[in-house]
Amino acid sequence: MAKLLSLALFVSAETGCLASGLQPFIDSPERSAANRARDIYRHPLEVLTFFGVRNNATVVEIWPAPDGYWTEILAPYLKDHGHYIAAWFEDTPSHHRANEVFAAKLEAAPALFGKIEIKVFAGERHEIAPPESADFVLTFRNLHNWMADGEEAQAFRTFYHALKPGGILGLVEHRAPADQPQDPLAKSGYVRQDVAIEFAKDAGFQFLGSSEADANPKDTKDYSAGVWALPPVFRLKDQDHDKYAEIGESDRFVLKFMKPAR
């Protein structure tokens, strides 16, 4: 009992230390107003603390958003003691504009982003980091895209290859209802939590747990435009705009996996 209590106190202290270290970067005036406004849905402090991201870690973010939501937090947080790798899109016609926007954002603020390393992620076609070199691989709301392309298995194998033994995969995705069949192409943008867990396990990952930090019970997940009816996309434009704005961003699962230590 004493050992369990000591372990619990250690974990609590470590979590508190991570949170206090992250908070100034989340509160930074260098972040865009639009990104800070999304914190009420994306809960960056809770999510990154749950993943256990340390400021001296090597962190790979898969497909950073062109607006740099997580980049604005992670790159400055890791700049002095760690290493942030942005594994962005292949430069295809469909992704060229997103890559241009992200590159322009980095170039506009070299003091914040000058130490970022750029890699490319596309299934298993590129190396996102040297083998077994990353402490964390993080991906936010991307799994449905790999399912649409039939590359989910390749994606998880790439993450496994890049992570050190004991390294962490943190995954956030729009959560589909557990009692409905999973569309293998995830055309609505929603993915069942149990399906995501099995993808990771099939690649060799150990499931460590989940967080409800990004849960949104208002999300009914039954929109004609899929998850993109909701903010920030508002694909239906003025149609029921106020209704979707009141729902807010999607209900999401937050999952933590580990590459087993040898």
DSSP structure string for 224-250: TTGGGGSTTT-TTTTTTHHHHHHH-SP
Q: Which amino acid is at 86?
A: A
Q: Where are the alpha helices (DSSP H) in the chain?
A: 2-26, 33-37, 39-42, 44-51, 71-78, 96-108, 110-113, 143-148, 152-162, 193-202, 241-247
**Mutual angle of helices 44-51 and 2-26, in 10-degree steps:** 140
pLDDT confidence band for 18 (50 / 70 / 90): confident
pLDDT confidence band for 141 (50 / 70 / 90): very high
CA neighbor of 76 nearest in space, from 114, 103, 38: 114
Residue 35, Cβ neighbours under 10 Å: how many?
A: 18
pLDDT confidence band for 11 (50 / 70 / 90): very low
Q: Are residues 143 and 170 in contact, defined by beta-carbon separation less than 8 angstroms?
A: no
| Interacting residues of 205 by C-beta distance below 8 A, sequence separation 6+ | 156, 160, 169, 257, 258, 259, 260
Instruction: Give the residue carrying structure tokens 């019970």.
Output: 217
pLDDT confidence band for 16 (50 / 70 / 90): low
Q: What percent of the chain is predicted at pLDDT more than 90?
A: 90
Give the single-character DSSP code of 136: E
Burial letters 172-198, b for 16+ CB under 10 A, else e: bbbbbeeeeebbeebebbbbbbebbbe
Radius of gyration of the CA atoms of the chain, in A: 18
pLDDT confidence band for 2 (50 / 70 / 90): low
The predicted-structure confidence for 206-256, as pLDDT tens digits, reads as follows 999 999 999 999 999 999 999 999 999 999 999 999 999 999 999 999 999
**Which pLDDT score is estimated for 4?**
42
Mind listing the domains of the chain with CATH numbers? 2-258 (3.40.50.150)
Q: Counting beta carbons within 10 angstroms of the beta carbon of residue 94, is it exposed (0 to 12), middle (13 to 18) or buried (19 or more)?
A: exposed
- What average pLDDT does the chain have? 94
The token pair at 84 is 């942030």
Residue 117's beta-bridge partner residues?
85
Instruction: Give the residue carrying structure tokens 């290859």.
Output: 161
**Which pLDDT score is estimated for 61?**
98
Nearest-angstrom CA–CA distance, 189 and 172: 12
Nearest-angstrom CA–CA distance, 53 and 249: 24
User: Is the pLDDT assigned to residue 204 strictly greater than 90?
Assistant: yes
The predicted-structure confidence for 63-101, as pLDDT tens digits, reads as follows 999 999 999 999 999 999 999 999 999 988 889 999 999
Q: What percent of the chain is predicted at pLDDT more than 70?
A: 94
